[in-house]
Structure formats: C-alpha cells, structure tokens
Structure 1
Amino acid sequence: MSTQNEGDLKLLQASYRGLRDEASVAFVDEAYRLHSECRSNEQPFYALAAVVLTVSIHDVARTDLRNIVEGDWWHTVEAQQSLQGRRRIQAITEYLASYKDPCVLSVQHTPQTHESPKEMRAASLSALLAAVGGNTQPPAGITLPETDMIVFEKQQHRADTQRDLHTLKGARAAGHIDRHYRAHHVSPAIEPLLWLPDLVSHTYRRYITHGEQLVTLLSEQTITVDATQKKSDPLEAAAYIQGVSRLSLTP
C-alpha cells in the first residue's frame, strides 16, 4: 500500500469510528455522456450514483464483495470485457438488490451545451447533498436515506477534490448538511464499498447507451432525483421518482 493510501485509510477509519453503528454513509461515483460524444440520435446525460449503507453492515459488505470478485481489486469497466467479469457484475448487482431499504440515489442532470463535466458534477452533487443531508422534507411517498458522511473515489487532480469540497461548503452554508458532515476522497483499493457506486454508475450508463436492463434490478432500492437547473436551490422544482429512471432524458 502506498504511503498516500495508508494515510487516507487511517483518516477514513478514524471517521468511521466517530459514527454510530446505525449512521449511514454515501459512497459516490459518476457516469456521463457529453454533447461532443453524442451521435445524431443520442442525448447527453450526467448521473451521480450514491450507494448508502449503514456503518453496522460495512465489514460484512466488504467481505461479501471480496468473495464475489475473488480478490481485493475491482473495476467494473474492465470486468465488462470478459464473460467472467460480466457474471461478477451480475452477481454484485443481485447482491445490492437484496438490500431491502432504499440505498441507491441516482441524481440525473441534463447537460447544457456549454457545461463541462466539472460543472455537471457540482450541480448534481449539490442536489445529492440536499437529498441525503437529513434537513430536507421529501415529497409524499419518497423516503430519502439520511447520511452522516460521504466517500468519493479519489480523483486524479487535487483541484477536482477542492471543487467537491467547495460544493460541500456551499451545502453547509445552505443548511442542506450540518457543519460536522464528513467527506473523504480515497482509492477504491482501500475501500471496497466504492466498488458499489462504480458498478451502479456503469450499469446505469449501459442502460442509457445500450438498453441493458441489469440496473433495473435495483429499482426497489433506488430513488431518482432529476436535478434542477437552478443552482441557487438544488431542490427547487427537482423531480423525484421511485425506481431507476431515464427521467432527465425525456424530451
């Protein structure tokens, strides 16, 4: 393990120890298609996938995931390239589908022509934090999981991490999360629970780009938030739907 990963792991574990067993943590990844990547019959999209798990099941879930993949390393895009990998994608999806409570949030955002992935991520992250910070009253019939911490896959450039932290600062100022809400950016090599949003974001992308239905196995666990374009209020006019949805792609 690298010195950087070792340090990140120690900080992450210290934060976990500060949480109650019944507290929940959101593990987050993204998927998108830009305007420049679209063919004539395609639409751009951005989706931020969050898998929410209570602290009390973290150790069991890590063990289960390592058993499914038969190792300590996972990347869904690479697994997609082999028959064995696709079988493991199926197995992990079915494993997550067995979790009975709402535990997957998909925040969808329809990109504007001028928007970069960084801008799309900031808008979607704002909506996600507003939804899971525990300070928002959801629409009737929707149960939003409340979280005390969020964990991202560590990005390549420190500036990208700083942008996320800036978005978190804005969410605190807006009252969507409290001032003690914690955030970590770490490698999936040290936190296997990040394999879950990696899988969800990948299978969601395949749902949009290839019509594959695997991600719909998670419909009972999933709440889709169609993010508003109004950056001043991430929840204003936001639409919620129970289940996996292409809501933001509907003309």
Structure 2
Amino acid sequence: MGFSDRKASIVAEAYRRTKSHVAYLDESYQAPDPIGHHRKTFYLFTAVVVAQDDMDELRGGLLEIAGSTHWHTTEALLTAGGRRATEDMLGYLADGKETCVIAHQVSVDPVDHDAEDARRACYRSLAEELAAGRAGSWSPIELLILEERNQRNFRNKDDKNHKELIRENRIPRNTRLLQTSPSAERLLWLPDLVSSAFRRTITHTDGTNELFEIVKPQVYFLEAGD
C-alpha cells in the first residue's frame, strides 16, 4: 500500500475511518533572515486532494517515475536527471484529476522569525477550505495528512492549530489531522512536488521557475489570513 512498516497501521486505520477524498499537505517558505534581509519572504501551504480509489495507481506511478522509494523535490532539482523526473512527475499529476490547493502568504512579518505565525495563518485558511468542500472540485475533506516535522514541539504546534479550528467551529469536529512521514505514505510526495514548483516561481530564474506551469491549470489559490 506504499506504507512503511512502522506507521502502516496508523495510516491504514485513518483511511478505513474515512469515506471522502483525502488531502495531502506540505509547505515551503522563506523566513525573515537578519543577514539575508534582501531575500523575499513567503510562506505557502499546499494540499493535493486524492480520491481513495485512485491512491494505489498514483503510488505506483510516482514510484515508477522516481525509480526509488525516496523522493524530495528540492534534492531532485539539483541534477539534470532529477529535473527530468520532476517534470515527468508534474506531468503525471497534471494528467490526473487531482485538485491542488495553495494557501499563500505573500510575505512573512519581519518579527515572525521562525515563520510560525505565517504557518498558522496558511494552515487555517487551507484547512477551512478543504473541510468546507468546493462544488465541482472536492467534497468536504475529513482527513488531512500532513508531512510531520522532526521536532515534537513543532508537531504539537500543528496539532494545536488544528484543534483551535475545531474549538472555534471553523471546521467540523470529524475533520482529522494526521501527521506522518513520506516513508509511511508516498502520496506526500505530491504536495512536496507542487510546493517546490511554486516556490521556484519566487526564488529562481534558471528555468525551473517554469515548472509550475505544468500543473497551474488545476491549482486553486487562497489568500492566507485569519
């Protein structure tokens, strides 16, 4: 099923409890830097919405393109072969019916040194939109799968951000957040792919800034904010 043994039961159980599409989330950002203060700051959260019936086919296609059970788009773009694989993977996503949603905060406040406030704003906008559903694109999402961060305190912050939305009645109580690793679910490669492609439109002018055009027609943009 594309799962690592260590976390297979948790992810599989989450799917068994879910009837609707599943959203896979990842982020990309550039936080304020007192040394590189000339750099543009931004934060973006990406979701790729996948129907459960399409999951196995997507996992197989991604594995075939990557030629490996490991993928990280930023690393792949360092080599010519990796760039070709990135283009192929974006084309594969573009050929499907998956919707991509990006919550983008154009700049990060200079005092938001770790960009956690920007992350919270982007997540709130994205989770609300996903949970509400969008006519003709996706039904209300019950399960959000987020690539987990390495440090427990950051994972706790993400859980807190989600619980706040439930407490404030901004998303239904049955909307769940599961944090896990791409080694546990290969479909987390998808938001990493889209986030990296969009990031390049901001940070690069070497041709990789045009990669996002491959999937742009199926992307829906949100303005992050409270």
Supply the distance in 1 between the matched residues of 2:141 and 2:64 (Cα, whole angstroms): 27
Supply the distance in 1 between the matched residues of 2:211 and 2:192 (Cα, whole angstroms): 14
Q: Could you tell me which residue of structure 1 aligns to residue 8 of structure 2?
A: 9
Q: Could you tell me which residue of structure 2 aligns to residue 78 of structure 1?
A: 75
Supply the distance in 2 between the matched residues of 1:64 and 1:193 (Cα, whole angstroms): 10
Q: Could you tell me which residue of structure 2 aligns to residue 168 of structure 1?
A: 162
Ranked by relative contact order (alpha carbons within 8 Å, sequence separation 6 or more), the top structure is 2
Give unpaired runs (5+ residues) of structure 1. Answer: 229-233, 235-251
Moved over 4 A (4+): 141-145
Instruction: Describe the superposition over 1:210-237 as per-residue Cα deviations: whole angstroms up to 9, x where unpaired.
Output: 1411112212211111112xxxxx3xxx
What is the aligned counterpart of 1:203 among 197, 205, 208? 197
Normalised TM-score (structure 1): 0.80
Give unpaired runs (5+ residues) of structure 2. Answer: none
Normalised TM-score (structure 2): 0.88
3-state SS in 2 of match to 1:111: coil
- Kept in 2, the 8 Å contact 1:49–1:105? The answer is yes
What is the aligned counterpart of 2:100 among 93, 101, 104? 104
Deviation of the 1:39 alpha carbon: 5.5
Supply the distance in 1 between the matched residues of 2:187 and 2:198 (Cα, whole angstroms): 18
Deviation of the 1:24 alpha carbon: 1.1
Distance 1:34 1:8, change over 3 A: same
- Kept in 1, the 8 Å contact 2:87–2:211? The answer is yes
Q: Could you tell me which residue of structure 1 aligns to residue 129 of structure 2?
A: 131
Q: Could you tell me which residue of structure 2 aligns to residue 18 of structure 1?
A: 17
Counting matched residue pairs gives 217
Instruction: Describe the superposition over 1:113-136 as per-residue Cα deviations: whole angstroms up to 9, x where unpaired.
Output: 11122221111101111111127x
CA RMSD of aligned residues (A): 2.0
Instruction: Describe the superposition over 1:47-79 as per-residue Cα deviations: whole angstroms up to 9, x where unpaired.
Output: 111111111111111111111111211111111
- Kept in 2, the 8 Å contact 1:26–1:51? The answer is yes
Alignment identity in percent? Answer: 27
Supply the distance in 2 between the matched residues of 1:112 and 1:181 (Cα, whole angstroms): 29
Distance 1:142 1:35, change over 3 A: farther
Aligned ranges 1:172-191 → 2 under 5 Å? 172-191=166-185
